Amino acid sequence: MNQEVEKTKGPIGKWATRILVLVFLLATTILTVFPLIMMMTGSLMSSSELMTGSGILPESWKFSNYKEAWDQTNFARFTWNSAFLSIASTVGTLLVAAMAAYVVDRREFPGKKLYVAVQASTMFISVGAVVLRPQYDLMVKLHLNNSLWGVILILISAHATTFFILTGFFKSIPRDLDEAAMIDGSGFVRTFYRVILPLLAPGLGVSGLFAFRHAWNEYILPLVFTMTNPHLQTLTVGLANLRYGSSAAMQTNLMLAGACLSVLPMLVVYLVANKSFMQMTAGSLKG
C-alpha cells in the first residue's frame, strides 16, 4: 500500500513543480514586459489622455509624438553624443580590463592580492554622488571638464565588474597556448593581442554589452559635465528636457516617445551581442 502511495506521489509532484515553475516564469515575464507595453502605448497618447489614465490603449494613435520628441530635443545630436560616449567608454573599458585581467591571471607580481582586493572593494562599496565633486575637480585640472572625454575616463575607471568577468574567461584559456607562442618567439604583449584576445571574443561580447548599457543609461555624470555645454548633452539628459513644454505643461507622452526611440540602439546592441551569450552558454554546458 505504501509503495502505491509513493508511486502516485511521484507524477503529482513533478506536475506540481512544473506548474509552479510555469507560473513563476509567466509572472516574471508579465512584470518585465508590462512596463515596456505601457511605455509604447503611452508614447502614442495625448498628454491629457495619459495623465487621466483612461485606459491602456490610446483612443487616437498619435504617431506625431515621435516627430515632436525628435524635433524638440535635437535628438540626432544627443544620439550621436550618447553613441560616442558609450562606444568610446566601452572600448576603453574592455581594453583596460582585458590587459589587467591577463596580467593578473598569467603573472605573479608584488601587490597582486592587494590590487584584486581594491578592484573588489570598488564593486561592493558605493559612494555615489560623494565622489562627483573630486572627479569634476580632477577633470578641471586635466582640462577635460568641457568635453565628454572626462565622462569617458571616469566610466573607464569603473571597470571592476568587467575585470572579474574577463578574469573568469582567462582561466578557461589553456596556458599551453602562451607557452607555445613564447617558443615561437612571440613576446608577452604580442601573445596577448595575437593569440589570447581572439579567443576572448565571447567574454568581450558579454562584458562589452554590460559596459555599453551602463554608459548609455548613465545620467548623473553627463548631467554634471554638460551643464554649461548643452550641445554635449546625451539622450538621458536631453530626454529630461521634454518633461515640460514652453507653457510649463507636462509632456509625459513626448518623454515616453523619446524613451522608445532611445531604446532602439540598445536593442541593436543586444542582437549583435546575442551570439556571444550563446557561445558563453554553450561553453559552460560543455565544461
Domain containing residue 149: CATH number = 1.10.3720.10
Q: What is the mean pLDDT of residues 200-222?
A: 87
156 and 85 in a single domain? The answer is yes
Residue 16's contacts (CB-CB under 8 Å, 6 or more residues apart) are: none
pLDDT at 283: 44
* pLDDT tens digits along 56-105: 777 778 888 888 888 777 888 888 999 999 999 999 999 999 999 988 88
Least confident stretch, 42-46, 126-130, 207-211, 247-251 = 247-251
Which residue segment(s) compose the domain that 77 sits in?
73-241
Residues in the chain: 287
110 and 48 in a single domain? The answer is no
In a domain, 123, yes or no: yes
pLDDT at 282 over 50: no
81 and 175 in a single domain? The answer is yes
Q: How many domains are there within the chain?
A: 2
pLDDT at 42: 80
Residue 269's contacts (CB-CB under 8 Å, 6 or more residues apart) are: 209, 212, 213
Average pLDDT, the chain: 81
36 and 90 in a single domain? The answer is no
Q: What is the mean pLDDT of residues 226-250?
A: 74
CA angle 192, 149, 233 (to 5 degrees): 130
169-175: list long-range contacts, CB under 8 Å, 24+ apart.
169/101, 169/200, 169/202, 169/203, 170/101, 170/102, 170/105, 170/106, 170/196, 170/200, 171/105, 172/283, 172/287, 173/199, 173/200, 175/106
83 and 46 in a single domain? The answer is no
Instruction: For the chain, give the percent of residues with pLDDT over 90.
Output: 13
156 and 206 in a single domain? The answer is yes
pLDDT at 184 over 90: no
For the chain, percent helix, then strand, then coil, each to nearest 5?
80, 0, 20
47 or 227: whose pLDDT is higher?
227
pLDDT at 16 over 80: yes
DSSP-assigned beta bridge partners for residue 38? none
In a domain, 281, yes or no: no
pLDDT at 89: 94
In a domain, 33, yes or no: yes
Instruction: For the chain, give the percent of residues with pLDDT over 70.
Output: 85
pLDDT at 152: 93
Q: What is the mean pLDDT of residues 211-232?
A: 87
38 and 81 in a single domain? The answer is no
In a domain, 119, yes or no: yes
